[in-house]
């Protein structure tokens, strides 16, 4: 499964568990508007660390925080190399 | 200004004779609170509340702020009810605090326990008042801790203690606009409210259910100059493009451990402003602020008395004695400080070089975006599953909320290796947790392990988070 697909599937899973409705997912979507709250997002990042083996937030040295879903996916694609 | 005794200035003294109008804003209203000098938000019913033990049970932060300004120095006791106190605990809180009057604001917050003979409504606006203010008293301020389980603790302060760490008391500071992601009904947020009032500033508050992006837009619109929140608040805000529309002069973090990553992330977005992280607790008061952009705090802070604040470290845990320390708890008979007047914060510090770093909570309490969690409570739920032998709930570092909880579980029958049966058990356990626990206490991940380390005491060996 591609990194992107893994992320999208996990977002749907977390949204369902937390009783939230996701916005239509596309690269331009601003993460803050995706439908997950802070806690949902924290759970998502923890699960992605388990499945993809990276926590790009903690690894980032320049304090970069992705704003859009496209940037978020890219962080994982790069972190994996 | 810092006089002792009954003559200590009340909050209204900082509002009187203001050189310029100052405001408190939320999403719905703008209150020119400097008008409280000669006005009322309580329908002119201050006399009914004078000398009483008043529960401030308002739904909005704005009406809370106005009620506090009007009531300080008039009510015998002000008990500030945070928005998330469980209804089951209201009766116990009100009885222990001898509440004999309630202030509400007609908002969404309703409860049968609020139906006392003396019940006053607070408006988000200020009307002229002709009554003569009742006699001045020294008001006890009672704050509730963000408890983990059971009835929240009620911590007694007075205004002098609550404002002991506030140095800037210039009424001419009118240009400052404070903003906070906190709720002012908790200690951290109350500090920001008091800083604004004493420092001659205006204040931007959030409204219940307001999206962070909207709040940021309002902060930008009002030209916020000083902005405060927990590291979790800031991590959330950093993910919203509107963060770049604000230009604060001062960025403040408190309430959780500020790690180097969040300090650097804020520095990247705000190259110019002063960025400080403060350390405080409801019981200990404000202890110090660190302004050098680095995580932790210099060991020198603990070796000298600064601003009346003394620190000592006992068994790794930070203890604090200061003019801002609370005096006692209401009701529960527990002592708040040790024999020498030091409060044990329960925060474990580790020395590395010439700095102390925070290493987690004594007793393993986990802090999830400001909400405190006892791992034992979650383990108790997991252990209810018939196939679970034991479990260990532990914090996992999260870049978003500081920590989240994950669980290591030992099953009664294993040896079959990983099987589809285990996946079903995992789902089952999570279902159990979701039914019994609030969302932040449900483990983000469950791992099956062959055994768990047990210490010599017979207790699960918990690592510091």
Interface residues from chain B to A (CB-CB < 8 Å): 211-213, 232, 235-236, 238-241, 261-262, 264-268, 368-369, 396-401, 404, 406, 430, 434, 439-440, 442, 444-445
Rounded Cα distance, B266 and B251, in Å: 8
Q: Residue B463 has what pLDDT?
A: 56
DSSP conformation class of B309: B
Reported confidence tier of residue A18, pLDDT bands at 50, 70, 90: confident
Q: Cite the DSSP H helix spans in B97-211.
A: 159-162, 187-198
Question: Measured between CA atoms, how close is A25 to chain B, in angstroms?
Answer: 17
Q: Residue B450 has what pLDDT?
A: 87
Q: Where are the domains of chain B?
A: 11-352, 365-448
Which of these CATH numbers, 1.10.1200, 1.10.3470, 3.40.50, 1.25.40, describes A3-79?
Answer: 1.10.1200
For residue A78, what are the CA distances in angstroms to A3, A49, A51, A69, B265? 10, 14, 15, 14, 19
Question: Measured between CA atoms, how close is B464 to chain A, in angstroms?
Answer: 19
Q: For residue B407, which of A14, A43, A57, A20 has the smallest C-alpha distance?
A: A43
- Asked whether the beta carbons of residue B399 and residue A58 sit closer than 8 angstroms, the reply is yes
CATH class of the domain at B365-448:
alpha beta
Three-state DSSP class for residue B280: strand
Cα–chain center distance at B164: 17
Residues of B in contact with A70 (CB under 8 A): none
DSSP conformation class of A12: H
Rounded Cα distance, B241 and A66, in Å: 10
Using the Cβ of A51 and the Cβ atoms of chain B, whether some distance falls under 8 Å is answered with: no
Residue A72 structure tokens: 């978020």
Question: Measured between CA atoms, how close is A4 to chain B, in angstroms?
Answer: 19
Helix %, strand %, coil % of chain B (to 5): 25, 25, 45
Close Cβ partners of B154 (under 8 Å, ≥ 6 residues apart): B79, B93, B96, B97, B142, B143, B144, B145, B329, B330, B331, B332
- Asked whether the beta carbons of residue B239 and residue A33 sit closer than 8 angstroms, the reply is no
Cα–chain center distance at B338: 23
Reported confidence tier of residue A58, pLDDT bands at 50, 70, 90: low
Q: Where are the domains of chain A?
A: 3-79
For residue B276, what are the CA distances in angstroms to B116, B117, B295? 43, 46, 10
CB B321 within 8 A of CB B285: no
CB B363 within 8 A of CB B348: no
Q: Residue B181 has what pLDDT?
A: 93
Residue B138 structure tokens: 């020294």
pLDDT tens readout for residues B442-457 = 999 999 998 887 654 4
- Asked whether the beta carbons of residue A46 and residue B265 sit closer than 8 angstroms, the reply is no
Q: Answer yes or no: pTM beyond 0.90.
A: no
Using the Cβ of A23 and the Cβ atoms of chain B, whether some distance falls under 8 Å is answered with: no
Reported confidence tier of residue A80, pLDDT bands at 50, 70, 90: low
List chain B residues with pLDDT less than 50: 1-7, 456-457, 464-465
Q: Residue A12 has what pLDDT?
A: 95
- Asked whether the beta carbons of residue B400 and residue A38 sit closer than 8 angstroms, the reply is yes
pLDDT tens readout for residues B403-434 = 899 999 988 776 555 566 788 899 999 999 99
Find the helix or strand (DSSP H, E) in which A71 lies.
helix A69-79
Higher pLDDT, A67 or B23: B23
Q: Walk across the sheet containing B285-290 and list its strands.
A: B30-31, B24-25, B202-204, B177-180, B226-229, B250-253, B274-281, B285-290
Q: Residue B2 has what pLDDT?
A: 40
- Asked whether the beta carbons of residue B268 and residue A64 sit closer than 8 angstroms, the reply is yes
Q: How many interchain CB pairs under 8 A, A with B?
A: 77
pLDDT tens readout for residues B21-79 = 899 999 999 999 999 988 999 999 999 999 999 999 999 999 999 999 999 999 999 99
Residues of A in contact with B238 (CB under 8 A): 65
Torsion, Cα of B259, B263, B264, B265 (10° steps): 100
Residues of B in contact with A41 (CB under 8 A): 400
DSSP conformation class of B428: H
| ipTM score for this prediction | 0.82
Percent of chain B having pLDDT more than 90? 59
Reported confidence tier of residue A65, pLDDT bands at 50, 70, 90: confident
CB A32 within 8 A of CB B212: yes
Tokens 């002098």 sit at which residue?
Answer: B160
Q: Residue B173 has what pLDDT?
A: 54
Q: Residue B112 has what pLDDT?
A: 87
Using the Cβ of A41 and the Cβ atoms of chain B, whether some distance falls under 8 Å is answered with: yes
CB B300 within 8 A of CB B282: no
Question: Measured between CA atoms, how close is B369 to chain A, in angstroms?
Answer: 8
Rounded Cα distance, A79 and B265, in Å: 18
Q: Residue B172 has what pLDDT?
A: 55
Q: Residue A59 has what pLDDT?
A: 61
Residue B305 structure tokens: 């008395």
**Domain B11-352 coded CATH 3.40.50.12280:** no
Beta bridge partners of B298: B355
Q: Residue B460 has what pLDDT?
A: 65
- Asked whether the beta carbons of residue A50 and residue B445 sit closer than 8 angstroms, the reply is yes
Residue B422 structure tokens: 């285990």
């Amino acid at each position: 499964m591609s990194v992107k697909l893994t992320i999208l599937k996990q977002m749907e899973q977390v949204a369902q568990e937390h009783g939230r409705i996701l916005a239509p997912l596309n690269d331009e979507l601003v993460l803050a508007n995706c439908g997950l709250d802070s806690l949902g997002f924290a759970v998502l990042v923890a699960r992605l660390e388990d499945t993809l083996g990276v926590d790009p937030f903690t690894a980032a040295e320049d304090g970069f925080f992705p704003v859009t879903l496209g940037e978020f996916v890219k962080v994982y694609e790069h972190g994996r190399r | 200004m810092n006089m002792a005794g009954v003559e200590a200035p009340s909050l209204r003294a900082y509002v009187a004779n203001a050189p310029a109008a100052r405001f408190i804003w939320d999403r719905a209203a703008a209150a020119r609170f400097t008008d409280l000098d000669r006005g009322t938000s309580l329908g002119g019913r201050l006399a009914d509340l004078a000398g009483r033990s008043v529960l401030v049970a308002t739904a909005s932060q704005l009406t809370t702020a106005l009620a506090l300004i009007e009531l300080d120095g008039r009510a015998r006791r002000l008990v500030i009810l945070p928005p998330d106190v469980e209804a089951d605990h209201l009766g116990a809180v009100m009885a222990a605090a001898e509440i004999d009057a309630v202030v509400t604001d007609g908002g969404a917050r309703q409860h049968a326990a609020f139906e006392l003979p003396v019940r006053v409504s607070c408006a988000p606006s200020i009307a002229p008042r002709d009554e003569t203010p009742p006699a001045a008293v020294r008001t006890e301020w009672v704050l509730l801790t963000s408890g983990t389980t059971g009835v929240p603790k009620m911590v007694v302060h007075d205004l002098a203690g609550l404002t002991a760490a506030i140095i800037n008391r210039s009424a001419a500071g009118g240009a400052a606009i404070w903003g906070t992601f906190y709720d002012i009904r908790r200690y951290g947020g109350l500090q920001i409210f008091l800083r604004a009032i004493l420092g001659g500033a205006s204040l931007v508050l959030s409204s219940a259910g307001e999206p962070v992006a909207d709040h940021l837009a309002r902060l930008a619109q009002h030209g916020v100059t000083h902005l405060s929140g927990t590291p979790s608040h800031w991590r959330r805000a950093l993910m919203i493009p509107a963060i770049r529309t604000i230009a604060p002069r001062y960025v403040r973090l408190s309430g959780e451990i500020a790690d180097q990553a969040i300090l650097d992330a804020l520095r990247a977005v705000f190259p110019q402003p002063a960025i400080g992280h403060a350390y405080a607790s409801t019981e200990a008061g404000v202890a110090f602020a660190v302004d050098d952009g680095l995580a932790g705090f210099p060991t020198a802070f603990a070796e000298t008395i600064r601003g009346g604040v003394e620190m000592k470290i006992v068994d790794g845990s930070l203890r604090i004695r200061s003019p801002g320390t609370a005096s006692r708890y209401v009701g529960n008979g527990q002592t708040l400080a040790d024999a020498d007047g030091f409060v044990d914060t329960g925060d474990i510090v580790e020395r590395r070089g010439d700095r102390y770093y925070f290493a987690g909570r004594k007793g393993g309490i986990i802090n999830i975006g400001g909400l405190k969690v006892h791992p034992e409570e979650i383990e108790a739920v997991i252990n209810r599953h018939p196939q679970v032998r034991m479990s260990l709930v532990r914090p996992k570092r999260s870049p978003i909320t500081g920590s989240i909880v994950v669980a290591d579980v030992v099953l009664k029958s294993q040896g079959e290796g990983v099987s589809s049966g285990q996946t079903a058990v995992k789902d089952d356990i999570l279902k159990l947790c979701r039914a019994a626990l609030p969302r932040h206490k449900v483990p983000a991940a469950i791992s099956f392990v062959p055994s768990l380390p047990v210490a010599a005491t017979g207790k699960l060996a918990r690592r510091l988070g």
